[in-house]
Amino acid sequence: MKSIFPIIALMVFAVSAKAQKQIQITWLGHAAFEIVSPGGTTILIDPFLKQNPATPAARKDLTAYKPNAILITHSHFDHAADVVEIARSSKAVVIGEFEYVSDLAIPDDQKKGGNVGGKFAVGDVTVHMMPAMHSSIPSGRPVGFVIRFGDGRTLYHSGDTWIFGDMALIQELYKPSIILLTVGGGPFTQDPQTAGLAVRKYFTPDVIIPMHYGTWPPLAQEADVRKAFEGMKNVVILKPGEQRAYENQ
């Protein structure tokens, strides 16, 4: 009988090779995402998890998160509530606006503060800070992020924002293939209709993932988002906790 070990080894190698071509994206509810690069770098964005009614119970254990870096778009509780606890337990660096990061109760060597236009290398990715139109209390200013992966693809997380003309520059400079776009509306951010306009006017992504909706009233609900993006085949509506993987074409 021939050994099956070479076959198993070949299958494991094939799975590993496929994973090395993938960007894995998990929506954790609201504006929180876990992203794994083709090279295995894990990025956590806006970790509002323990008190987030949209985050699945299985993803509320903060000690289970082992990111290489945590990105914070601004200091509002619904984006930054769990950053300190996760940073302390995981030893991840925290990337965000300089004044905000400087005030965090974590070791100085984990603080990576910057400003719009700044960039940071983390594993096989580069993180670029983008402008956003919002507020940031108690400290700092709001930002978005572009993540450039080692294979050249880029992902844009808008943070909380309203549509703004310099989105055209983000497209020109970075050409994001994946966009995580706030659509919540209400008194806080752009609504789904305005978010749809932003995509049509400024961007040409392969994938659009709406975020910052459905967490609680008065934010837009899933039906509002589906209606606003009707007919746009590159829109992916995720459920909190759902993961998608995107290979380089």
Please state the three-class secondary structure of 97-164 as a single string: EHHHHHCCCCCHHHEEEECCCCEEEECCEEEEEEECCCCCCCCCCCEEEEEECCCCCEEEECCCCCCC
The residue type found at 98 is: F
If you classify domain 23-236 with CATH, what class do you get? alpha beta
Which position has the token pair 């090279």? 39
Q: Find all residues with CB under 8 Å of 71, minimum gap 6, and list them.
A: 43, 44, 45, 46, 94, 95, 96, 127, 145, 157
Which of 15-24, 71-80, 93-102, 200-209 is predicted least confidently? 15-24
**Token duo for residue 220:** 């837009």
For CA atoms 104, 105, 108, 112, the dihedral sign is negative
Tens of pLDDT, residues 37-91:
999 999 999 999 999 999 999 999 999 999 999 999 999 999 999 999 999 999 9
Residue 18: per-residue pLDDT: 63
Query: Per-residue confidence at 248, pLDDT binned at 50, 70, 90?
Result: confident
248 or 62, higher pLDDT: 62
Q: What torsion, rounded to 10 degrees, do the Cα atoms 90, 68, 155, 157 define?
A: 30
The residue type found at 225 is: V
**Token duo for residue 210:** 């709406």
Helix (H) or strand (E) holding 97: strand 93-97
Contact 96, 72 (CB under 8 A): yes
Q: Which pairing describes strands 178-182 and 154-157: parallel, antiparallel, or unpaired? A: parallel
Which of 9-18, 46-55, 171-180, 218-227 is predicted least confidently? 9-18
The mean of the pLDDT values for the chain is 93
SS3 content of the chain, % helix, strand, coil (to 5): 25, 25, 50
Share of the chain above pLDDT 70, in %: 92
Residue 20: per-residue pLDDT: 74
Residue 14: per-residue pLDDT: 46
Sequence ranges of the domains in the chain: 23-236
Q: Find all residues with CB under 8 Å of 75, minimum gap 6, and list them.
A: 100, 136, 137, 138, 139, 140
The residue type found at 44 is: L
Which of 3-17, 37-51, 111-125, 185-199 is predicted least confidently? 3-17
Residue 246: per-residue pLDDT: 98
> Of 211, 200, 217, whose CA–CA distance to 238 is shortest?
211
69-71 β-sheet, strand order: 111-114, 93-97, 69-71, 42-45, 33-36, 22-27, 243-247
Share of the chain above pLDDT 90, in %: 87
pLDDT at 13 over 70: no
pTM for this model (two decimals): 0.92
The Cα diameter of the chain in Å comes to 69
Q: Find all residues with CB under 8 Å of 166, minimum gap 6, and list them.
A: 131
**Token duo for residue 83:** 């950053």
Q: Give, as one character, the DSSP assignment of residue 71.
A: E
pLDDT at 8 over 60: no
Tens of pLDDT, residues 190-227:
999 999 999 999 999 999 999 999 999 999 999 999 99
pLDDT at 12 over 50: no
Residue 2: per-residue pLDDT: 60
